[in-house]
Structure 1
Amino acid sequence: MKFPMRGLYAITQTDHKSQGTVIDEVEAAIRGGTAVVQYRDKNPRDALALARELVRVCHRHNVPLLVNDDVELALQAGADGVHLGKDDGHIGEARERLGADAIIGLSCYNSLDRALEAQTHGATYAAFGRFFPSNSKPLAAPAQLDTLRQAKQALSIPVVAIGGILPENGAQLLAAGADLLAVIGGIFDREPEVSTRAYLRLFDQ
């Protein structure tokens, strides 16, 4: 499945939620118009079972499902790819395990150089952030709008923005060059289908 060139990128919120709730919320976000879903779970109980179910739900709606951090879990679950942070291994190794068609994204924080290197090594997209205070990553270093502007000029792969993004502040990231907005709490702290539609209006402006 192809990675979207534009749209909303939903990242699961799993803490203190049953697997059934996570699945229902993801399905609601997809109904609202989410273009891609990432399974992120820092305290998994049965990661493989949940990942497989999320793959099934996403594929039923022709939405790609990525796994955060874990190449082997992505492989076992039949996910469409993986998102890698700075300590999660090399893109080339992930590509070798997951295949030529896999989606492989990389966290680039506030570093254009890291994004350019990722593109050279075959990354599908580059993610920058955090741009605003974030409950999911409260200690993450801030990224600058100028980095987004430079990335949009320098990269041929999609640019993803992440970190504290809400419908009230997302427009400035799109204006600076973000192709996709990656969101956790702004979708899943509230009613996911309604929240997703609020984000999508930013892409229509």
Structure 2
Amino acid sequence: MKRIDSGKMRRLLKLYFIMGSVNCRKSPLDTLAEAIDGGITLFQFREKGIASFTGLAYMELAQQLQRRCREHQVPFIVNDDIELAAALDADGVHVGQDDAPARSIRQRLGAHKIIGVSAHTPEEAKQAIADGADYLGVGPVYTTSSKDDAEAVQGTAVIEELRRIGLTIPLVGIGGINANNAAPVIRAGADGISVISAIAGAADIRGAAREFLRVIRQ
């Protein structure tokens, strides 16, 4: 099977929801169901932090969330855990700079899987592209409390720089993005936004997702 084409990848990145059990006010399954109903286009399972699930509970949660995604044709991406992605036959994996390079992940998971890489500089972006990444996650754009290991806040400068130097790979902005500050991320050149707490922690999850889509489409 062939790699995903860039046009489809750009469409999938429009509203990229990232979540684990520790991010939710409701149950993870209910949170994901409402986010899907609100129109998310891609989902990443990221189970990290204090009180996160491990072992069998971790695997069972991943399977339940993947099942819900498949029911609604929303691609299911795993954060960092290549073994879990392989075991579940997930749609793809997202990795950081300290994880295995996209090239080796591709060899393990296959040509048709989605591989995303976090990039914070043009040099990291170029290396990820050379290694075969399908998209780049760029940020943190704004201050975020969802990731303890977040890099320094960069605003939209890196996204703008990557486009200025001619990189055409699909890009998604991440970090502290909400409906009020999402528009500049798209204007800077991102194909979409990735969100954790602004959807997972919302009182109205469906409404939050729909509002993001309204802003992105303007």
Bucket of the pairwise TM-score, normalised by the shorter protein = over 0.9
Distance 1:16 1:192, change over 3 A: closer
Q: 1 CA distance for matches of 2:163 and 2:37?
A: 29
Partner of 1:61: 72
Q: Given the alignment of the two structures, is residue 30 of structure 1 paired with residue 36 of structure 2, yes or no?
A: yes
Aligned AA for 2:77? L
Deviation, structure 1 residue 53: 1.5
- Is the CA contact (8 Å cut-off) linking 2:138 and 2:174 kept in structure 1? yes
TM-score (norm 1): 0.92
Deviation, structure 1 residue 136: 0.9
Q: 1 CA distance for matches of 2:160 and 2:24?
A: 37
- Is the CA contact (8 Å cut-off) linking 2:18 and 2:43 kept in structure 1? yes
Deviation, structure 1 residue 16: 7.3
Equivalences, count: 203
Q: 1 CA distance for matches of 2:155 and 2:207?
A: 29
Partner of 2:97: 86
- Is the CA contact (8 Å cut-off) linking 1:4 and 1:35 kept in structure 2? no
Partner of 1:180: 192
Q: 1 CA distance for matches of 2:172 and 2:116?
A: 9
- Is the CA contact (8 Å cut-off) linking 2:77 and 2:92 kept in structure 1? yes
TM-score (norm 2): 0.87
- Give 3-state SS (helix, strand or coil) of 1:34's partner: coil
Deviation, structure 1 residue 141: 1.1
- Give the alignment's Cα RMSD to 1 decimal: 1.9
Partner of 2:45: 39
Deviation, structure 1 residue 156: 2.5
- Give 3-state SS (helix, strand or coil) of 2:27's partner: helix
Distance 1:16 1:33, change over 3 A: closer
Q: Given the alignment of the two structures, is residue 201 of structure 1 paired with residue 210 of structure 2, yes or no?
A: no
Q: Deviations over 1:116-154 (max 9, x none)?
A: 111111101011111111111255311242211122342
Partner of 1:4: 9
Deviation, structure 1 residue 17: 5.4
Structure 1: give runs of 5+ residues left out of the alignment. Answer: none
- Is the CA contact (8 Å cut-off) linking 2:17 and 2:196 kept in structure 1? yes
Q: 2 CA distance for matches of 1:64 and 1:152?
A: 26
Structure 2: give runs of 5+ residues left out of the alignment. Answer: none
Aligned AA for 1:83? H
Partner of 2:128: 118
Q: 2 CA distance for matches of 1:132 and 1:147?
A: 12
